[in-house]
Amino acid sequence: MTTLACQSLDVSIAGKSICLKLDMILESGQFWGLLGPNGIGKTTLLKCMAGLFAPDNGSVLLENQAIDKLPRRQVARLLGMLQQHTVYIFDASVFETAMTGRHPHLAYWERESSQDRQKVHAAIRAVDLAGFEERSVTGLSGGEARRLAFAALMVQEPAILLLDEPANHLDMKHQIRVMNLVEALVDNQQRCAMIAMHDVNLASRYCDHILMLFGDGGWLAGAASELLNQQNLERLYQCGVETVQTPAGLRFLPGG
C-alpha cells in the first residue's frame, strides 16, 4: 500500500500562510477533495505534496521516506500530478504526448513496448480523444488539452494522483467522465486521489475525504460526511450556504 503523509507541515507562499501543522495521511483507496476559496494556496499545497515546493517546516513522506530526498524518477513512478495549466509550445502529436507518461518507467535507451502503446490507446479512448492520435497538441482546444494531460497521467499509472482542478475547461459530460475515471482508479485499482476543486457538489458526490483550507493557516481534514456541512462551508467560502436534501444525498447552494 502506498501512502503519502504530511507531518506537521507548515507551508506559506510570499509570507502568506497556507497551512500550519498539517497532519494527514493519504492512503490507497481514498478519494480526497481539496476545498478552499480562490488564491488560498491549493495549488502550492499540491506542489508541496508532490515535492516541487519546499515547506517551511515539517515533511512530506512518500512511502515513509522524505519526498525531497527521493530521486525524482522514483517519485514519478509512485506519484503523478495533473497541473492546472498545460501549455504546449512545440508541435507533437496527441499520441506522443500521452506516451510521455511512460517516461519514468523506461530506462535511458529503452523504447516503448507494444504494451505501452496499448496503454496509451486505452487512455486516449478513456478521455474521449479517440481519433485525435495524430493531431498536433498545439491545435487542441482548452478542454481537449486538459483531457490529454489527464490521459498522460493515466498512462503514468501512479499509485497517488494529485489533480489540480481537473474539471477546468470541461463541459458537464467530460467533467463527469473524468471524475468517474478517477473514481474507478481509486475503487478498482486501489489508488489514491486528491483533487483540488471548487464544485462542492461534485466533491460531495465523489469524495470520501475532504481537506479544507481556511486561509489563516487553519485547516480541517477528515471524512466527507462529517466535514461537508453548512457551518463549515459558510466558514470556508465566507458566504451563506443552503443545503438541499436530494435523493442522491445532500447538495449545497449559495445562499444569501
Partner 1 sequence: MIPIRLRRSLLLLLMLMSVGSIFFATANGSVSLDWFEWLGALKDPGSQHGELLWRLRLPRAMSAWVVGSMLAMSGCLMQVLLRNPLADPYVLGVSGGAAFATLLGMVFGVAVAFLPWLAILGALISILLVFGLARGTGPWSGTRLLLTGVVTASGWAAMISLVLSLSPDNSLRGMLFWLMGDLSYANLPSWSLAVLGGSFILTLGLARSLNVLAMGETTARLLGESTQHMLWLVYLLASILTAAAVSVAGSIGFVGLIVPHLMRLLVGSDHRILIPAATLFGGLFLVFSDSLARTVMSPQQLPVGVITALLGVPLFLLLLNRARLKGV
**Least Cβ distance, residue 86 to partner 1 (angstroms):** 8
**Least Cβ distance, residue 166 to partner 1 (angstroms):** 15
Whose cell is 436534501? That residue is 245
**Least Cβ distance, residue 229 to partner 1 (angstroms):** 35
Whose cell is 462551508? That residue is 233
d(CA 240, CA 185): 34
CB nearer partner 1, residue 35 or residue 82: 82
**Least Cβ distance, residue 102 to partner 1 (angstroms):** 9
Q: Are 94 and 132 in contact (CB under 8 A)?
A: yes
d(CA 49, CA 183): 21
d(CA 185, CA 36): 24
CB nearer partner 1, residue 25 or residue 106: 106
All three cell numbers of 43, joined, read 495549488
**Least Cβ distance, residue 90 to partner 1 (angstroms):** 4
CB nearer partner 1, residue 86 or residue 232: 86
Interface positions with partner 1 (CB under 8 A):
50, 52, 71-77, 80-81, 83, 86-93, 96-97, 100-101, 103-104, 106, 108-109, 111, 136, 139, 156
Q: What SS3 state is found at 223? A: strand
Residues 6 or more apart whose CB falls under 8 angstroms from that of 231 comprise none
**Least Cβ distance, residue 165 to partner 1 (angstroms):** 15
Q: List, as own/partner pairs, every contact residues 245-251 make where C-beta atoms lie below 8 angstroms and the sequence separation is at least 24, other chains included.
A: 248/205, 249/204, 249/205, 250/204, 251/201, 251/204
CB nearer partner 1, residue 88 or residue 214: 88
CB nearer partner 1, residue 87 or residue 172: 87
CB nearer partner 1, residue 17 or residue 86: 86
- Using alpha carbons only, how large is the chain's radius of gyration in Å? 18
